[in-house]
């Protein structure tokens, strides 16, 4: 989320500043990257209930902890956010 905001990625509003309290940083993780990115924690799953167009690959980008092995990570924003 921070990388998206700093680089003005459309559709990542991050209204709560990364507190897992708004769902305006919703992204879809490319299938090839899902196992590396991991699954949402229960609190994140609860907040995803407030996002539009949730899919199995949905994550809140503010809850993704970036690691070196995620170099090249592919995420997409939901159409409704873009």
Asked if 23 touches ligand FES (CB under 6 A), the answer is yes
Distance, CA of 80 to CA of 63 (rounded, Å): 20
13 vs 30, which CB is nearer to ligand FES? Answer: 13
Point out which span in 10-18, 31-39, 69-77 binds ligand FES (CB under 6 A): 10-18
Q: Residue 71 contacts by C-beta under 8 Å, 6 or more apart in sequence?
A: none
19 DSSP assignment: S
Element (H, E) at 42: helix 42-48
Give, as ranges, the residues between 49 and 78 that touch ligand FES (CB under 6 A).
60, 62
Element (H, E) at 2: helix 2-6
CB of 22 to ligand FES, least distance (A): 3
**What is the binding site for ligand FES (CB under 6 A)?**
1, 14-16, 18-25, 47, 60, 62
């Amino acid at each position: 989320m921070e990388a998206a905001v700093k680089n003005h990625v459309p559709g990542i509003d991050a209204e709560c500043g990364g507190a897992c309290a708004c769902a305006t940083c919703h992204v879809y993780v490319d299938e090839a990257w899902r196992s590396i990115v991991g699954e949402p924690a229960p609190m994140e799953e609860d907040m995803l209930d407030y996002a539009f167009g949730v899919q199995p690959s949905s994550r809140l980008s503010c809850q993704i902890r970036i690691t070196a092995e995620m170099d090249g990570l592919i995420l997409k924003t939901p159409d409704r956010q873009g």
